[in-house]
Amino acid sequence: MPDGTNFTRDGTPWEPLYIEAIDMEKCIGCGRCFKVCDRNVLAMMGVNEDDELIEPDDDEAERMVMTIANKGACIGCNACARVCGSGAMTHVTAAQATAL
């Protein structure tokens, strides 16, 4: 596989999509994406009235949103995007990730 093509177990071509961003305006802070990711890529954070990220247990938190804590740990499975009901996540190919 020198051309960089990936395959599933049955030989179907597959291209990993790596998390690039989470739109704080779309994220509802439900935590579904966090639950499906076992790579410690995501972290829940609070948002105060000035739209600043704060610790999730801070009393000033008006709402919760998911953030990317460890982008490099993403394996490109795209499970987080599949469970995101609000469409808050942006994913990129490996080629796009290296170009950024």
% of the chain beyond a pLDDT of 90: 87
63 contacts 46 by C-beta, under 8 angstroms: yes
Q: Which stretches of the chain are DSSP H helices?
A: 32-36, 79-83, 94-99
So what's the pLDDT on residue 98? 81
Does 81 reside within a domain? Answer: yes
So what's the pLDDT on residue 5? 74
* pTM across the whole model: 0.86
The structure tokens listed for 95 are 């080629």
| Structural domain boundaries enclosing 78 | 16-99
Question: In the chain, which residues have pLDDT < 50?
Answer: 1-2
Q: Which residue has the tokens 């020198």?
A: 2
Coil/strand/helix, residue 2? coil
Mean residue pLDDT across the chain: 93
CATH code, 84: 3.30.70.20
The structure tokens listed for 83 are 């469970």
Coil/strand/helix, residue 97? helix
C-alpha–C-alpha distance, residues 54 and 52, integer Å:
6
So what's the pLDDT on residue 2? 44
So what's the pLDDT on residue 20? 97
